[in-house]
Structures are given as C-alpha cells and as structure tokens.
Amino acid sequence: MSSSIQKVAIDLGDRSYDILIGRGLIGASEHFQRLGFKGHALIVTNETVAPLYAQALRQTLEAVHRRVDMVVLPDGEAFKQWDTLNLIFNALLERACDRKTVLYALGGGVVGDMTGFAAASYMRGVDYVQVPTTLLAQVDSSVGGKTAINHPMGKNMIGAFYQPRLVVADLATLDTLPQRELSAGLAEVIKYGPIADAAFLDWVEAHVDALMQRDESALAYAVKRSCELKAQVVGKDERESGLRAILNFGHTFGHAIEAGMGYGAWLHGEAVGTGMLMATDLSMRLGLVDASLARRIEQVVARAGLPLKGPDLPAARYLDLMRVDKKAEAGEIRFVLLDGAGRAVMKSAPDALVAEVIESRTAR
C-alpha cells in the first residue's frame, strides 16, 4: 500500500478523470475498483515492462474484472506504428472482446499512445486506463488524451483525442528506469516552468539533483505539479485549437531531431531537451527573453543529463522536417517561444534566423 497518495483531478466535463500518484499503486485494487467496470480487461504492455510489473497488475485487476488478458508488444518507438497497433486489435478480436472491454496501458509513452489509440478506435471506442511506468509518461504522455501512432512520413500523424478513465502513476516503477530515460522524462518536467509557471522553474532548479538521484518526495512533487500544469492547459483547450500548443515548447525542433535521425536514435525527451534550448535561443534572438533566463534553462537541462546540442544535420533539413510537422500551417512554421519566464507565445520567425539558431546549436 502506498503511504501517501496524491491526486490531480482533470476536469473535462463528462470526460473528467483522476491522476493518482504514489508508491505501490499497482498493487492496490481499490482505485481501479471504484470505476465500476463490467467488462474484460486487456493489459497492453511491452517486452521490457512485462517481466517487471505485469504480474502485479494482473493480480490486482483480477480482483476487479472477471477476466484479465494481456498482449505484449515489441519495445521501442520504431514499433509505434500500425502493425503493432494491429497486435492489440488481434488480441481483442481473438478474445471476442466487446465494447465493455477496458484496456490498461502498462508502460511508457509508446505503449500509452498506442493503447489509447487502440481504445479510441476499437469498436469506435472502449475505455482505457493509463498505468505509466516512465517519468515521461507520468508527467506528460499519459495525461491529456492525445493518442497516436507514427507514419513513415511523420511522427504521431495518425491518432485521436481520447481521454483515459484513470491514470495511475506508481512511483515504484521508476526504480527500474534506466538513467537515460529518467533524464528524458526530466526534459518534460523542465518544460512546464518556462512556459507556464516561473515558480516551478525555480523549484526544478533547486531540486534537479535530487530528481536525478530519484529522491522520492522530489519525484512525487515533480509528477504532481507537472500534471497540474498540464491539466490547467488541457482543461482550457482539449483539442489543441490554440493554447494547448504551448505544451509543444521544444517539440517543433525536437520532432525535427527525432525524424531527422530516424525515430528512436534520440529519445523523445532528449530531443525535447535540446529543442527547448533551440526555442529559447530563438526567443532570445527575437528579443523576447534575456540571456540570463536562457542560461538558467541551459544549466537545468545540462544538470538533467540532457544533450545541449542537436545532431549535425544541415539547417535546411531541420527546416524541411519542421515544415511537415503538424504545427506548420500552410507551410509556415509556428514556434512555441518564451516571453519571459513562465509565459509562452506562438510565433513564426524568419528562416534565416532559425537557421542561425540551428547552426549554433548543432554538434559539428
């Protein structure tokens, strides 16, 4: 049982749900029980996470559902595509799962995004629960209802806005997370301060070393505050017509890094970390932030063990990749930039200026 459980309530009308944060939650059936599910459960997980946590979750869910099945996907961003998604559909159809079936996403953002999209699409929509096991998934991808798979021509191009019924972030799962993945998750934690809450940037600055050492109370607060900040934004703009786009701070550059290197070479969070520095540089060159804020962000990113420079691709390649990215409308790239600490703005910028930023921020 977890000694202290934090709760963040996501208020989206009839699609509202809770995020629970605490140690040992996977072993506690009462939180799942409360939802009153009547159908089968299908745990969706991957080859890495299954041996670590699937048995515990299955046992818990057996007290909730009259039948619990499992499908184990191959591990990796490269598998976040149709063929893997179809393994979930196959599993559902082989077991004649009906519309009352509940999918449980046990894993990182890849498993979460695919499970969410499978839930959105199976019979035009069944319930799902997120059980995120990476820091990135706990602070970001499991919250907000964005689901997707990749297409060879672009990341997250095919998906749905589809909210989970519950998010259960068990801090104990972070014990087994490789350090590189922890750093990648910290990139998304760091993101929230500059765009939405200057005080949280201060807190992260003061606690980044504790977070790197997996201090539990620091992690608990980082997850909770990140979810709160994300929830604030998503609550105002569920379908990303405007405001929500600020959560993509660092992501336009980041997606170009990921796509340019082939998905999986860089971790999503690593690309976002470097992407935030590029976006901050661009903000500075546009006169929106001063050098001291840029330096602070760079130092936090560095202490979180994240790369400070992007891969050595020509600036023109970055620009092409960003133009195909979904934030580009009618060929014009809209960047999420900073306007001081704790405030984001959407802006386009001259290609030449963007190219300068990229050139000074790539490893050559």
Which of a copy of itself, ligand NAD, none does 107 bind, CB closer than 5 to 8 A by kind?
ligand NAD
Element (H, E) at 219: helix 216-236
Contact pattern for ligand NAD over residues 265 through 294, marking x by CB under 6 A = ---xx-------------------------
If one asks whether residue 306 binds ligand NAD (CB under 6 A), the answer comes out as: no
CA 311 and chain centroid, separation: 22
Site for ligand NAD in 159-178 (CB under 6 A): 173, 176-177
d(CA 105, CA 131): 6
Q: Which two tokens stand for residue 239?
A: 């379908």
Instruction: Determine whether 188 is an active site residue.
Output: yes
Residues 6+ apart with CB under 8 A from 278: 250, 253, 310, 357, 358, 361
β-strand partners of 168: 20
Region from 46-54, 57-65, 218-226, 238-246 binding ligand NAD, contact rule CB under 6 A: 46-54
Count of alpha carbons within 13 angstroms of residue 269, beta-carbon side:
28
User: What 8-state DSSP symbol labels residue 361?
Assistant: T
Task: Indicate the residue among 99 and 309 with the shorter CB distance to a copy of itself.
Answer: 99
- What is the full DSSP assignment across 252-267? HHHHHHHHHT-TTSS-
Residue 75 is assigned to a ligand binding site: yes
Provide DSSP, 32-72: HHTT---S-EEEEEETTTIIIIIHHHHHHHHTT-S-EEEEE
Contact flag: residue 260 with ligand NAD (CB under 6 A):
no
- CA gyration radius for the chain? 20
Q: Which is nearer to ligand NAD, 64 or 136 (CB)?
A: 136
Q: From a copy of itself, ligand NAD, none, which one binds at residue 90 (CB under 5 to 8 Å depending on kind)?
A: a copy of itself
> Could you confirm whether 298 is annotated as catalytic?
no
C-alpha separations of 146 from 34, 155, 223, 288 in Å? 24, 13, 18, 30
CA distance 150 to 67: 31
**What are the Cα distances from residue 18, in Å, to 133, 259, 284?**
17, 33, 38
Task: Confirm whether residue 133 is marked as ligand binding.
Answer: yes
CA 191 to each of CA 126, 162, 247, 305: distance values in angstroms, whole numbers, following the listed order = 32, 23, 8, 15
Chosen from a copy of itself, ligand NAD, none, partner binding at 269 (C-beta under 5 to 8 Å by type): ligand NAD
Q: Is 146 a catalytic residue?
A: yes
Minimum CB distance to ligand NAD smaller for 119 or for 184: 184
Annotated binding-site residue? 78: yes
248: annotated active-site residue: yes
Nearer to ligand NAD, 72 or 97 (CB): 72
User: Exactly one of 40, 225, 251, 327 is catalytic; which is it?
Assistant: 251
Structure tokens at 319: 């620009």
Catalytic annotation present for 251: yes
Which of the residues 78 through 117 are near ligand NAD (CB under 6 A)?
Answer: 80, 107-111, 113
Q: Which residues bind a copy of itself (CB under 8 A)?
A: 39, 82, 86, 89-90, 93-94, 96, 98-100, 120-125, 146-148, 151, 153-154, 157-161, 239-240, 323-324, 326, 328-331
Q: Which of 321, 318, 309 is nearest to 364 (CA)?
A: 309
Instruction: Pick the binder of ligand NAD from 101, 156, 183, 252 (CB under 6 A).
Output: 156
Q: Which of the 8 DSSP states describes residue 310?
A: B
Q: Which residue out of 23, 244, 285, 361 is catalytically annotated?
A: 244
Residues that bind ligand NAD (CB under 6 A): 46, 48-49, 52, 75, 77, 80, 107-111, 113, 133-134, 136-137, 140-141, 144, 146, 156, 173, 176-177, 181, 184, 268-269
Tell me which residues are annotated as active site: 124, 146, 188, 230, 240, 244, 248, 251, 255, 268
Give binding residues as ranges: 75-80, 109-113, 133-134, 146, 155, 173-176, 188, 251, 268
